Chain A
Amino acid sequence: PVAKRAVAEAAQHNKVPHPVGFVPPPPPCPGKVRHFKI
């Protein structure tokens, strides 16, 4: 567990930040509401 945690933390530190203006894609589901949500 110690080794795994270290790897995970290292991965977080090495994560490439998104460029400015990046819009994350919408989640695949649920889809858009066409009229209104009850």
Chain B
Amino acid sequence: VPAAPPAPLGCDDPESEAAAEVAVGYINSHSHYGYKFALNRIENIRVIPQGLNNDVIFLELDLLETTCHILSPTPLENCTVRTFTDHAVEGDCDVKLQKVDGKFSVLASKCHSHADSSEDIIQLCPDCPLLANLNNTEVVTAVTAALSDYNSKTPDAYLKLLEIGRAKIQHHPAHIVFAEFAVAATNCSAQEAKDNAEACQLLPDDQSNFGFCKATQVISPSQELEVNCQLYGHQPGVTYSPPGTS
């Protein structure tokens, strides 16, 4: 009598969760911009047996953006998922894995990310700042000013902008731009960069050469700028706030 086929895997079964963990690790390790994503829900799982101890698994995953930049050495389990009111970003991923002798490996993945609708945020939090386009003029201006301010007051390696990770603009009760951006160290000191910043070259890829900054620029009613940068790797964490700012 042939054995009954095994019951289909449920999305919350330990094996499904193990496969999802491998998939999320793969997705984060193969992403080179933006933020690390954490698992929010396994939407679906299909197992196609290929033979003895050999399965192909198709996973549909719902992920949420964390506060850890993809270059951050912080392990995913220590990264905080952004809150709904922080204008969350969701990732929908289809992942194909193979499980051979109990070991998972990812064969392919495809992800799309999208921010929650502004209307939903406003409904819950009318005064919350909303995500802005990364090429928004106010955002670019705030990031440029913040990095310039940081470099002018830090004697260490001159930092160049790698990418703007996310930005939000608040209009009421004050006009404020919040921006987060990744930076990389160059071969110039801050003093050398004053003469010819264009000649400064990024150092070879090494985690210790990257950093992540958060800037807040108040545009009105007052004009203030605050920037905090954390450099990754073996360099000690550096937190910087220009004196005289909020």
Measured CB to CB, the residues of A under 8 A from B are 26, 28-38
Contact = CB atoms under 8 A, between A and B. Distances in A.
B200 interface: no
A30 B84 contact: no
B219 interface: no
A8 to B, nearest CB: 25
B199 interface: no
A28 B45 CA distance: 9
A20 to B, nearest CB: 26
Contacts of B16: 31
Contact of B88 (A26, A28, A34, A38): A38
Contact of A33 (B9, B38, B41, B116): B41
Contact of A28 (B11, B41, B90): B11
A30 B44 contact: yes
Given A30-B11, A33-B41, 17 more contacts: A28-B9, A28-B10, A28-B11, A29-B44, A30-B42, A30-B43, A30-B44, A31-B12, A32-B12, A32-B41, A33-B40, A34-B41, A35-B64, A35-B81, A38-B64, A38-B88, A38-B120
B243 interface: no
